[in-house]
């Protein structure tokens, strides 16, 4: 079983989405966790747009990377440039991957416009996770 850690700045949106999709695409083959450089709490709009896609993240916790500092991971995925720049060195054999997704928490405008930006990021994260599982776990 492969162990994956997904990192972003606040562990409130992008990393939460990625954790859920990675688990969805390979439930029997991985253990996946997410964390942030800081813990901003789970973003309710992220919960909403994930629920629209049939995935419940409402019980996820928002953790800091320090929580997992002593764990041995096979893969560490950073989903924003800030996390990549500030990602601690993990001991062991962890392969690092990076993709800078836009931060939907920074979206402005009307509520429908903000939710649409969350949906766009959700869909980008979903496709990235689908491809990651295919490429790295040959699923």
From 80, 94, 121, 133, active-site residue? 80
- On whether the CB atoms of residues 35 and 71 are closer than 8 A, the answer is no
Is-contact 65 36, C-beta < 8 A? Answer: yes
Active-site position among 4, 5, 6, 8:
8
To the query of whether residue 8 is one of the catalytic residues in this protein, the response is yes
Candidates 31, 39, 87, 114; catalytic one: 87
Distance from chain centroid for Cα 34: 6
* C-alpha closest to that of 104 among 34, 48, 45: 45
Structure tokens at 34: 């997410």
Determine whether 13 is an active site residue: no
For the annotated catalytic residues, the residue numbers are 8, 80, 87
């Amino acid at each position: 079983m492969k162990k994956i850690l997904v990192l972003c700045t606040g562990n409130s949106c992008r990393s939460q989405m990625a954790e859920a999709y990675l688990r969805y695409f390979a439930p029997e083959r991985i253990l996946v966790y997410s964390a942030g450089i800081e813990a901003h709490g789970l973003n309710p709009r992220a919960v909403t747009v994930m629920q629209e896609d049939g995935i419940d993240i409402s019980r996820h916790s928002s953790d800091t990377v320090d929580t997992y500092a002593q764990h041995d991971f096979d893969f560490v995925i950073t989903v924003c440039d800030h996390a990549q720049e500030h990602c601690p060195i993990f001991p062991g054999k962890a392969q690092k991957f990076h993709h800078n997704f836009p931060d939907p928490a920074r979206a402005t405008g009307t509520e429908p416009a903000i939710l649409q930006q969350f949906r766009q990021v959700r869909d980008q994260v979903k496709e990235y996770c689908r491809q990651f599982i295919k490429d790295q776990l040959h699923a």
